[in-house]
Structure 1
Amino acid sequence: MARIAAAICTWNRYDVLPKAIESVAKQSLGKHEYKIFVIDNSPDHDYCEEFGKQFAHIENLEYVVEKIAGLSNARNVATRMCAEQGIDYIAYLDDDAIARPEWLEKILEGFDSFGEEVDVVGGRVDPMWSMPRPRWLGPKLEGYVSIVNWGGELRLAEESEWFAGTNIAFRVDTLQVLGGFSTTLGRTGSGATLLSNEETQLLDRIKETGGKRVYHPDAALDHLVEEKRLSRQWFRKRMAWQATSDFLMKAEECIEQCAGHWENILEYSAMVPPRERTLRGLMYDTDDAELFHWQLSAIYGWNVLNLAGFEGVAEEEVA
């Protein structure tokens, strides 16, 4: 019986999806030891059905057309399939990722090495750049394109170490008990909106129940960094939606930080050229990685301030 399933949730990514499936179909585990669940959320359901037929020869793969849109819902569908089939663990990868041959084997090693209290295993994510890396994309921004490399060896994860949603695995029973991923958070459809935090919220709940996280650098995969994500505009949009996601998840905490956000915005404004010291400064194009990172933090703060109605910021400070 399969111990683990690899789940690929996809939405209109038929150009890259076959390579992701192929990489998971060639794992070092025996075919009877794992399943592959492809949850296709694309809007043309007839085409989904037709497209999925080409993978019928992969004996341990199930291609599911899921008509209810949303990444969180698709992930929950895959989790339920695991529970129904008695599969202990589920590993998620994006439809534009390429798993290394020993990916699932190493994830299982992560769960087996530290006992039943381990609820989460995450691994390394190496970038596949679709274009040369921009100079303004410094190390502090790598997480927003899902680059993960904490180095070292197989170990319990440090408090500050996070995992990317494109390479994360869970104990199925834990997901079932906690209700899975929140469908009020996370992406839906084409990416016009970038709501997130569905993984963060779930990981926080796992931590509260005493669950442990394991990092395995050899549970690795390669992940495409699309050209559309390598623009300052995309990063600004991503940061604005991160503020929205955080506010939805922890509004009171965000409101408490409003005064600090306002101070940060004023300090950032003083660092840009004089003609940019208005709201234009939030769109100022710079190749300086540190200044661009500061700009993004100002955009984040500006969105939190608007969502909070500038609560906690004295009128004289705004004036």
Structure 2
Amino acid sequence: MPLISVVICTYNRYEVLKKAVNSLTQQTLDDDKFEILIIDNTPNAETGEGASVKRDFESIKNLTYVFEKTPGLSNARNVGYKLAKSPYISYLDDDAIASQVWVEEVLNAFESFDNVGVVGGRIAPIWEIPRPSWLGDALVGNVSVVDWGGELRVADSNEWFAGANISFAKKVLEAAGGFSTNLGRKGGGQVLLSNEESELINFVKQSEYIEVYNPKASVDHLVEKKRLTRDWFRRRSAWQAASDFMMNPSEAEKNLADQLTNIKDYLCSLPPRYRNLQGLYFATDDAGEFQWQLSAIYANTILTLAGFDGLEGIEDGKE
């Protein structure tokens, strides 16, 4: 029986997938101590390029290649953990490259503490194009850049993990019912729903399990050119609001008046010609201003989903 299982879910990204798998063939942990599960969610993969890629991987003895027709990242992740033969499940993005000690250090994190529910690690960016000036440090988490520094430890309450490099005890996934299929990416990224990991981490927080961060369990993660546009970040902000609302509507609906004030303050900070809906998508190279724009988009999405309930009668400049 393997000590730990690595699950990679993929959707028509075979070139980057090969690099991810190659990094797993160079691990310091012996390959008979861990297994690799590829869950291919690409439409018609069995009769298309996926069949050829599966054959390419046949020489990797600890790798199992699975075609999964039901769409959705959350479903693919659930298929992966249910097939896994070990007590620990590590999820690696198909466009990530694991450090040589990654699997060993994830396993070390689980075995260094009692009742570990989730392990997160460092995620360093591979910028496909130079990082834009409008992308400030406060926003790089949106492209899964994670670096909390320090040593192996129980994570602080303000330290979050990203799905490109996250691992769960299988018993936690089973107890929680896996990843919510109402959340998570679908269609190769057209639908930017998220929070499927956050929901599981909340389950960990509310149980007897603990969260552990190990900076040595590190991966490099591709930040594609298509994500390094203002449009993508605007979409990401709106979909984050939708994800938060779907996961916990009552929490998302708190402080709607503050959300409205944020939008008004943002628009009033702009030149007069942008003090309308155009202000939510005009181009700016200023990192701080762009961050504020995204927060206004988030707030506007929450207000729309809430139907502006409870805001009737609020006058300009009053709460």
What is the TM-score with the length of structure 2 in the denominator?
Answer: 0.97
* Counterpart contact for 1:181–1:198, Cα < 8 Å: yes
* Counterpart contact for 1:49–1:65, Cα < 8 Å: no
Counterpart of 1:27, as a letter, is: Q
Out of 30, 50, 53, the residue aligned to residue 52 of structure 2 is: 50
Q: Deviation of residue 253 (structure 1)?
A: 1.5
**Structure 1 stretch 266-275 or stretch 34-43: which is displaced more?**
266-275
Is 1:126 the counterpart of 2:128? The answer is no
Structure 1 unaligned regions, length at least 5:
none
Mapped to 1, the partners of 2:92 and 2:187 lie a distance apart of: 17
Give matches, 1:12-161, under 5 Å.
12-45=12-45, 46-47=47-48, 48-82=50-84, 85=85, 87-115=86-114, 117-161=115-159
* Counterpart contact for 1:100–1:220, Cα < 8 Å: yes
Q: Deviation of residue 271 (structure 1)?
A: 1.3
Matched-pair identity in %: 51
Moved segments of 4+, more than 6 Å = none
* Counterpart contact for 2:233–2:294, Cα < 8 Å: yes
Mapped to 2, the partners of 1:66 and 1:265 lie a distance apart of: 42
Q: Deviation of residue 318 (structure 1)?
A: 6.3
Counterpart of 1:209, as a letter, is: S
Q: Deviation of residue 21 (structure 1)?
A: 0.6
Partner-residue secondary structure (3-state), 1:222: strand
Mapped to 1, the partners of 2:310 and 2:93 lie a distance apart of: 40
* Counterpart contact for 1:123–1:219, Cα < 8 Å: yes
Counterpart of 1:56, as a letter, is: E
Mapped to 2, the partners of 1:221 and 1:11 lie a distance apart of: 20
* Counterpart contact for 1:7–1:37, Cα < 8 Å: yes
Q: Deviation of residue 174 (structure 1)?
A: 1.4
Counterpart of 1:247, as a letter, is: F
Partner-residue secondary structure (3-state), 1:15: helix
Counterpart of 2:104, as a letter, is: E
Mapped to 2, the partners of 1:166 and 1:185 lie a distance apart of: 16
Partner-residue secondary structure (3-state), 1:150: coil
* Counterpart contact for 2:106–2:167, Cα < 8 Å: yes
* Counterpart contact for 2:204–2:211, Cα < 8 Å: no
> Deviations for 1:276-312, whole angstroms, at most 9, x for unmatched residues?
0111100121111111101000000000111111112
* Counterpart contact for 1:7–1:39, Cα < 8 Å: yes
Out of 259, 276, 282, the residue aligned to residue 261 of structure 1 is: 259
> Deviations for 1:153-189, whole angstroms, at most 9, x for unmatched residues?
1100000000010000111111112111011111112
Q: 2:312: which partner in 1?
A: 314
Counterpart of 2:227, as a letter, is: R
Q: Deviation of residue 265 (structure 1)?
A: 0.4
* Counterpart contact for 1:255–1:312, Cα < 8 Å: no
Mapped to 2, the partners of 1:180 and 1:13 lie a distance apart of: 24
Mapped to 2, the partners of 1:312 and 1:21 lie a distance apart of: 51
Is 1:167 the counterpart of 2:165? The answer is yes
Q: Deviation of residue 207 (structure 1)?
A: 1.1
Q: 2:270: which partner in 1?
A: 272
* Counterpart contact for 1:155–1:216, Cα < 8 Å: yes
Mapped to 2, the partners of 1:121 and 1:12 lie a distance apart of: 27
Mapped to 2, the partners of 1:313 and 1:237 lie a distance apart of: 25
Partner-residue secondary structure (3-state), 1:214: strand
Give matches, 1:211-230, under 5 Å.
211-230=209-228
Mapped to 2, the partners of 1:183 and 1:52 lie a distance apart of: 26
Q: 2:9: which partner in 1?
A: 9
Partner-residue secondary structure (3-state), 2:14: coil
* Counterpart contact for 1:37–1:64, Cα < 8 Å: yes
> Deviations for 1:10-52, whole angstroms, at most 9, x for unmatched residues?
0010121100011012111111100000000000231223321
Structure 2 unaligned regions, length at least 5:
none
Mapped to 2, the partners of 1:235 and 1:201 lie a distance apart of: 22
Mapped to 2, the partners of 1:249 and 1:317 lie a distance apart of: 31
Q: Deviation of residue 314 (structure 1)?
A: 3.4
Counterpart of 1:49, as a letter, is: A
Q: Deviation of residue 60 (structure 1)?
A: 0.3
> Deviations for 1:183-235, whole angstroms, at most 9, x for unmatched residues?
11111122111011111111101111121000000100000000010000000
Out of 178, 183, 188, the residue aligned to residue 181 of structure 2 is: 183
Partner-residue secondary structure (3-state), 1:268: helix
Mapped to 1, the partners of 2:220 and 2:9 lie a distance apart of: 16
Mapped to 2, the partners of 1:316 and 1:188 lie a distance apart of: 38
